[in-house]
Chain A
Amino acid sequence: MSGARESGYNFAYLDEQTKRMIRRTLLKALAAPGYQAPFGGREMPLAYGWGTGGIQVTASVIGPEDVLKVIDQGADDTTNAVSIRRFFQLVADVETTEATEKATVIQTRHRIPEAPLEEGQIIVYQVPQPEPLRHLEPREVETRKMHAYAEYGLMQVRLYEDIARYGHIATTYDYPVMVNGRYLMAPSPIPKFDNPKMQDNPAIQLFGAGREKRIYAIPPYTSVRSLDFEDHPFRTQSWDQRCALCDADDSYLDEVITDDRGGRMFVCSDTDYCARRRANGHVGAQGAIDPVGEKTDALSGDAQ
């Protein structure tokens, strides 16, 4: 007996015709990597800007056999990730997981997991603004032309102006990429730290923008190049610190304020990656005993 039937809604909420429409759009998007395909986005019972595009994409590709992972800021237990996972448990009754490698479908907001993705996996990005040129040109009529002619000089100029003004490209997230050497694409607001993971990724990468009603995609093993200049090559963020819990020096770190006197610690934003490392015996500076002195594992919050 499925939760979907108990909830009175079709499997994964959307009706089958709508799913078909979205799947057709997904195929189109995969056929033209990085191209923003318009679709008849539906009004979902979750708010626009909170993942409705990703939810519609996930709902269209997920089946009863799938295993779903939902993350927000890299973590499985942030409230919006919990809320979206609950939604799919209610309307699709699928198995969920926090383990990146066990998931067949991963819906994410703002991060790509640290563990490498594999063939057969699908990662679905929630996208607030699919148009990488929107802040340079507010008009859709114009930006569509710019994509049609691959006229991306404006973006190069913007990056150049950053260098002229600050000495660096001052874009730290949603850093524009060229997909398959053809379309300029917004990778969604992931930190540029994650950009290299998109390149030649064995997984299928799908992007859903619900409010703007656009879907785009990157097929497996596709070139995804972050824009840069020969004398100013693309660079990702790096930290002087290691994760305070698992001692990782290769993951994206969140800064956590621990008191009102400037105290702070850095921890992995990818909670699954961090927990796995600690399970394998890696211990960071504050991994075993927290500063308050209580003998608790700082990341053992109950996420289910």
Chain B
Amino acid sequence: MYVAVKGGERAILNSHKLVAEERRGDPALAELDVRQIVEQFRLAVDRVMTEGSVYDPELAALALKQAQGDAVEAIFLLRAYRTTLPRFAVSRPIETRRMAVRRRVSAAYKDVPGGQVLGPTYDYTHRLLDFALAAEGGVGAPEADLAEETLPDAMPPVLDILDGENLIEREFADREGESVFDLTRESLSFPAGRDQRLQNLARGDEGFVLGLAYSTTRGYGGSHPFVGEVRLGETAVEITPEELGFSIEIGDITVTECQMINQFKGTAEKPAQFTRGYGLSFGHGERKAMSMALVDRAMRCRELGEDALYPAQDEEFVLSHSDNIEAVGFVTHFKLPHYVDFQAELELVRRLRAEHATRVGRDGELREAAE
């Protein structure tokens, strides 16, 4: 009889055991090694690091293993772990112009100083299932050819070319020294500065940001973008310990950066000029970086004197709903018992229906009497 909600503790423990069993799958097959996930599921690892806000491929791979490959669940694990980490320094801004580039393309110019570098991309693969990958024995150790000459050490950003002509807005002056908003330590506040917006987008759900970016190009935002540049590669992270007084490198991270060029027709005060949208993700995440750059630009409407008419331009709408850990938590919390509130609603609906029935009955009698 009345036992439906009882035994919660045992049910929870048993549920954990079931998850562990299902996670392992068929024990006759070899168990996945975290290193294998780092090496062979790298793009999944990159997404988990980006939205989990922790650059650590092994931890991200562990999270993916623990979450049975569910990216959002893995991001949740990494975020919760992140909360417990001490922060001993704030890095200097990374210098992507000094990046060891592996891929770099511009859609704005046919050729650019430093050249177009296709690098590793699925862009021109035909999406045909490759059954060789499923064959026993695998694919061995494929090796790409080496280029005849090495890439230059530093590749100037493509947007510098426009910058020299004043055709594009100046990049913000380096605000090093000023404190940057930290979304993971303070609550969002509106109107949000660009630091808040970019942090939010960087951590935001890839699908959500992609959908918003798409909407800006389909009439819900009037965006006419050109990819000034997408670049992928390794870049050094530097900190300046107070005791030292100068910067030291603490390691390299892989990042994908997108500089998006957008039209701006100008206002009475400002002549027409191209404007920027910026996107950055950990690892190889072009879809995310490009989407981020488009939505970043859309949300700059206020500062550029454009009317905010569409969802992607509405910073409260975008920033409040982009975080998948917040969204998932709230949407799934409706699974939790709500029977106290439901009971309250039941009581109300029953009362309203009873009153309605009485009213209809009374009206009927009145009508009969009138006839």
Contact pattern, B 327-346, Cβ under 8 Å of A = 1, otherwise 0? 01111110011111101111
Instruction: Pick the contact of A166: B329, B330, B352 (CB < 8 A).
Output: B352
Q: Is the CB of B6 within 8 A of A301?
A: yes
| Residues of A within 8 A of B (CB-CB), count | 75
Q: Is the CB of A291 within 8 A of B332?
A: no
Instruction: Pick the contact of B11: A42, A79, A138, A211 (CB < 8 A).
Output: A79
> In the complex, what distance in Å separates the CA atom of A10 from the CA atom of B2?
39
Q: Is A49 an interface residue (CB 8 A)?
A: yes
Q: Is B82 an interface residue (CB 8 A)?
A: yes
Closest to A14 in B: B83
Q: Is the CB of A237 within 8 A of B344?
A: yes
Known contacts A254-B339, A301-B7, A42 near B333 by CB under 8 Å: no
CB neighbors of A among B313-371 (8 A): 316, 320, 325-326, 328-333, 336-341, 343-348, 351-352, 355
Closest to B185 in A: A40
Q: Is B120 an interface residue (CB 8 A)?
A: no
Q: Is A135 an interface residue (CB 8 A)?
A: no
Closest to A72 in B: B337
Majority secondary structure of chain B interface residues (helix, strand, loop or mixed): helix
Q: Is B80 an interface residue (CB 8 A)?
A: yes
User: In the complex, which residues of chain B have a beta carbon less than 8 angstroms from the beta carbon of A258?
Assistant: 1-2
User: In the complex, which residues of chain B have a beta carbon less than 8 angstroms from the beta carbon of A212?
Assistant: 187
User: In the complex, which residues of chain B have a beta carbon less than 8 angstroms from the beta carbon of A303?
Assistant: 6, 8-9
Known contacts A81-B8, A290-B2, A38 near B83 by CB under 8 Å: no
Q: Is B3 an interface residue (CB 8 A)?
A: yes
> In the complex, what distance in Å separates the CA atom of A45 from the CA atom of B8?
19
Contact pattern, A 151-185, Cβ under 8 Å of B = 1, otherwise 0? 00000000000000011101011100000000000
Contact pattern, A 86-98, Cβ under 8 Å of B = 1, otherwise 0? 1000000000000
CB distance from B9 to the nearest CB of A (A): 5
Contact pattern, A 206-227, Cβ under 8 Å of B = 1, otherwise 0? 0000011110000000000000
Q: Is A48 an interface residue (CB 8 A)?
A: yes
Q: Is the CB of A49 within 8 A of B333?
A: yes
> In the complex, what distance in Å separates the CA atom of A141 from the CA atom of B8?
41
Q: Is the CB of A86 within 8 A of B79?
A: no
Closest to B328 in A: A47
CB distance from B180 to the nearest CB of A (A): 14
Contact pattern, A 31-48, Cβ under 8 Å of B = 1, otherwise 0? 000000011111111011
CB distance from A137 to the nearest CB of B (A): 11
User: In the complex, which residues of chain A have a beta carbon less than 8 angstroms from the beta carbon of B346?
Assistant: 255
Closest to B190 in A: A141
Q: Is the CB of A44 within 8 A of B80?
A: yes
CB distance from B67 to the nearest CB of A (A): 13
Majority secondary structure of chain A interface residues (helix, strand, loop or mixed): loop
Q: Is the CB of A254 within 8 A of B340?
A: yes
> In the complex, what distance in Å separates the CA atom of A211 from the CA atom of B337?
19
Q: Is the CB of A253 within 8 A of B188?
A: no
Q: Is the CB of B5 within 8 A of A110?
A: no
Q: Is A1 an interface residue (CB 8 A)?
A: no
Closest to B13 in A: A86
Q: Is the CB of B344 within 8 A of A191?
A: yes
Q: Is the CB of A49 within 8 A of B185?
A: no
CB distance from B85 to the nearest CB of A (A): 10
User: In the complex, which residues of chain B have a beta carbon less than 8 angstroms from the beta carbon of A255?
Assistant: 339, 343, 346
Instruction: Pick the contact of A48: B9, B330, B352, B355 (CB < 8 A).
Output: B330
Instruction: Pick the contact of A73: B80, B82, B330, B337 (CB < 8 A).
Output: B337
Instruction: Pick the contact of B12: A49, A86, A172 (CB < 8 A).
Output: A86
User: In the complex, which residues of chain B have a beta carbon less than 8 angstroms from the beta carbon of A304?
Assistant: 9
A–B pairs, 10, beta carbons within 8 Å: A43-B79, A44-B83, A45-B83, A47-B76, A83-B12, A110-B340, A167-B355, A294-B1, A303-B9, A304-B9
Interface of A with B (CB < 8 Å)?
Answer: 9-10, 13, 15, 38-45, 47-50, 52, 72-75, 77-83, 86, 109-111, 128, 138-141, 166-168, 170, 172-174, 189-193, 211-214, 237, 239, 252-256, 258, 265, 267, 269, 290-292, 294, 296, 298-299, 301-304
